[in-house]
Amino acid sequence: MSVGIAGYGSTKFSQDDQPLDSILLDATADLFNNTRNLVQDDIDVVLVSSNDNSKYLGPILSELSGIKPRITHTIESLCNSGTNAIVSAYSYLAAGLAKTALVVGADRFDSPGQILKWDNSRGEFKHPIFWASIFTKSYKRRYNISSKDLAYVSVKNHKFALDNPYAYSKKQYSLEDVLESKELTEDVRLLDCSRPCTGGSAVLLSTKDTISKFTDFPIWLTGIGQKNTSASFTANPSLASINSTKKAAEIAFRMSNTSPNKVDVAEVHDAFTVCEPLALEAIGIASAGEGANMSKQLHESNHRRINPRGGIIGTGHPLGATGISQTIEITEQLQGKAKKRQVDHPQIGLVHNMSAGATSSTVLLFQN
Amino acid sequence: MSVGIAGYGSTKFSQDDQPLDSILLDATADLFNNTRNLVQDDIDVVLVSSNDNSKYLGPILSELSGIKPRITHTIESLCNSGTNAIVSAYSYLAAGLAKTALVVGADRFDSPGQILKWDNSRGEFKHPIFWASIFTKSYKRRYNISSKDLAYVSVKNHKFALDNPYAYSKKQYSLEDVLESKELTEDVRLLDCSRPCTGGSAVLLSTKDTISKFTDFPIWLTGIGQKNTSASFTANPSLASINSTKKAAEIAFRMSNTSPNKVDVAEVHDAFTVCEPLALEAIGIASAGEGANMSKQLHESNHRRINPRGGIIGTGHPLGATGISQTIEITEQLQGKAKKRQVDHPQIGLVHNMSAGATSSTVLLFQN
């Protein structure tokens, strides 16, 4: 059974001190406003993606929205909770248990998902900045990459975010701004980092026999790859590449019978600048050591192929919403509705979303 | 694609102050010990069911167990998290994304899922004892049921638990013990209540073409019904019946093309004594107002048809584990491996698991 994206909605990403249920509701209300013919009774499944400690958010969102779903719960897998929820929704539909599923992700600027307490148990640093720093040092040394080379990722993604009305960042930064921003570790500066923020994003998935009620431009989820390699980044066989993403991409390309060179537009998980080239190389869009140069060239040519909404660095990182926000961008691109961010006539789009030092990755492929 | 239970494992239910990841690991280790030929690489999906605030428990359990799954995350829906996770695992398999899925549920005696903070927002009582009390008063008045009639549920389920080696309760209670136990509200006494405890349970699901590696007695999941009606119990159209369970049961019986009178053995969600008759009536196993009398007769005849493991009252209620523990009992019953708890040659078994004042319900049907 084919499953596609039937609608979407989002809040603006901000530093607002907004309750979690209210963020979820705002994203859902935006989705209802944007989606033709949608009524509450159409929705069989409500999945919430969040790292928040609140319980029973699925039923709470459902009641606030007037939905009485069959299936509803919360899904958590740190930063790739959103794509886990989308794949789960796909499965309910493909398995024949439901026709239409709402997936809503949200987190606050102070989300408890930003720190993995379990790393205490083996004496590792808990904050993601430390693994990002180790990956950065290792990647730079392995491929003779400079801080300046990596800074282009930040410059590009902040620039692209200027055309994204939902983005947290509203400012253009120069190479010098990035290279002179506050030094957080020996290898990572403030503008190398995405920022935790408050935000929510929602997508509606529907089966082939139902989706035409909601849209004339369904975007089909044709490839799904996921892989978890461990719970902490030191299990990576290399610190200059990301193994879970490589495996997830292989699975997704095999399922959709396509290949990396056919990807017209992609949102990849640039939680830190080094993550964009690492992701491009693991997916197979760039060859090993060439990812940073690709980002630089895309910046200079103003080509939106990679992270057209501004990625995570430009858009902000409300953890549970991120994978869903990436999926909305790829949907709009494949529908030709991305306005100033639009890539020319894309046919195949990719979402890459990962967690906890690249120990878990999701790769999704979409086609129009 | 048919999906069945291929294996199972559990910890004993206790008041132990054990870390959550350690409970999950113990249940998983027991499952590996009990399951023929199972190796880590067989497992494509690891779903954790819990109300704990810890993050990334799926990857943590996977790494501790030596599993490198494709798909892994945590699922939360308060007390029916466990059956939500089982249905999600079913969907991944039925959708063709995976062949074998491990579902592990656990909570601690001090689980944060015992109280729904959201009820603050509308001035309702947060502790489940209050909705149980209101349901009890309403049910007794509507059908002219006495406290003594309901006390049989507690007597029966504590008695049945004596034959369950994993159960928290180890003691036989008389009718007088229940009726004279500590008064918590006007309508609910201590022995009317299940007890939060520490425990974990695990099941392995596998597809028809893979399951024979692991067992010669697969138990098939043939009916799935779920329904959420609101986030707080006051939305129930009656306080002497449970609407979400009625709808979930209808969906499950329709999917499996069977009916309530064909159910040979059932675990129903007796979080409080009143819940057993309410569940039996909503599912259709007993007619309206007759559930308490059915429990009394089953006690007197020592027939194990309903809650043979001792239900939640006898076995204990580690929230995220409960739906999985219920599923293990029904699996053992249908395999004829339930020892002293065995019902004669059952062919159809039912699991009923609900959340938050019966606002969400799951009904699962199994066949051998």
Q: Which residues of B touch A95 (CB under 8 A)?
A: 90-91, 94-95
Inter-residue contact A277 to A295 (CB < 8 Å): yes
Closest-CA distance, A353 to chain B, in angstroms, reads: 13
pLDDT score at A101? 98
Average the pLDDT over each of A31-35, B106-110, B125-129 and give the range with the smallest value.
B125-129
Which pLDDT value is given to residue A59? Answer: 96
Q: Are B104 and B27 in contact (CB under 8 A)?
A: yes
Provide the pLDDT for residue B232: 81
Q: Which residue of A has its CA nearest to B225?
A: A70
What the block records as the tokens of A30 is 């935006």
In a mutational test of the A interface, the residue from B131, B228, B236, B354 whose CB has the highest number of chain A CBs within 10 Å is: B228
- Whether the pLDDT of residue A192 is over 80: the answer is yes
How large is the average pLDDT for residues A210-238?
A: 92
Contacts of B365 (CB under 8 A, 6+ apart): B221, B222, B223, B224, B252, B253, B255, B256, B258, B263, B348, B349, B350
Decide if pLDDT at B359 tops 80.
Answer: yes
Contacts of A251 in chain B (CB under 8 A): 70
- pTM score: 0.97
d(CA B113, CA A293): 49
Mean pLDDT over residues A285-295, rounded? 98
Minimum Cα–Cα distance from B112: chain A residue: A55
Q: Which of B76, B84, B90, B111 to mutate to test the interface with A (most CBs of A within 10 A)?
A: B76
Supply the pLDDT for residue A98: 98
Percent of chain A, pLDDT > 90?
90
Higher pLDDT, A10 or A118: A10
Model confidence band, residue A123 (pLDDT cutoffs 50, 70, 90):
low
CB contact under 8 A, A355 and B97: no
The 10s digit of each residue's pLDDT in B29-81 is: 999 999 999 999 999 999 999 999 999 999 999 999 999 999 999 999 999 99
**Where residue A125 falls among pLDDT bands split at 50, 70, 90?**
low
- Nearest beta carbon to residue A117 from set B54, B81, B224: B54
Q: What is the mean pLDDT of residues A268-286?
A: 98
Would you say residue A121 has pLDDT above 70?
no
Task: Report the mean per-residue pLDDT for chain A.
Answer: 95
Q: Taking residues B129-158, what's their average pLDDT?
A: 95
- The pLDDT assigned to A233 comes to 74
Q: What is the mean pLDDT of residues A33-58?
A: 97
B332 pLDDT more than 80: yes
How far, in whole angstroms, is CA A128 from its chain's centroid? 17
Q: What pLDDT, in 10s, does the model give residues B242-255?
A: 999 999 999 999 99
- The length of chain B in residues reads 368
CB A86 within 8 Å of CB A205: yes
State percent of chain B over pLDDT 70. Answer: 98
The tokens for A156 are 């590009």
Please give the pLDDT value at position A15.
96
pLDDT at A238: 85
pLDDT given at position B113: 86
Specify the pairing of strand B265-267 against strand B348-355: parallel
Reported as a single tens digit per residue, the pLDDT across A316-345 is: 999 999 999 999 999 999 999 999 999 999
What lies within 8 Å, CB to CB, of B10 at 6+ separation is B27, B30, B166, B199, B200, B201, B202, B321, B325, B328
Shortest Cα–Cα distance, A202 to chain B (Å): 18
Query: Looking at the predicted complex, does its ipTM rise above 0.95?
Result: yes
Query: What is the average per-residue pLDDT within B327-350?
Result: 98
**What is the per-residue pLDDT for A131?**
87
Check CB contact under 8 Å for A56 and B355.
yes
What's residue A122's pLDDT? 57
B55/A76 Cβ within 8 A: yes
Asked if B62 lies within 8 A of A228 by C-beta distance, the reply is yes
Q: What is the pLDDT of residue B233?
A: 74
**pLDDT for B162 beyond 80:** yes
Reported confidence tier of residue B235, pLDDT bands at 50, 70, 90: confident
Q: Which of B3, B61, B73 is the mutation pick for testing A, counting most A CBs within 10 A?
A: B73
What pLDDT does residue B295 have?
98
* Cα distance between residue B67 and residue B71, in whole Å: 11
A86: which chain B residues are within 8 Å (Cβ-Cβ)?
none
pLDDT of residue B189 exceeding 70, the answer is: yes
More confident residue, A203 or B358: A203
Identify the three-state secondary structure at position A183.
strand
By C-alpha distance, the chain A residue nearest B46 is A228
To the nearest whole Å, the CA of B9 is away from the closest chain A CA by 23
DSSP annotation string for A259-308:
-GGG--EEE---SBTTHHHHHHHHHTSS-TT-HHHHHHHHHHHT--SB-T
Q: In chain A, which residues have their Cβ closer than 8 Å to the Cβ of B46?
A: 228
- Whether the predicted pLDDT of B147 surpasses 80: yes
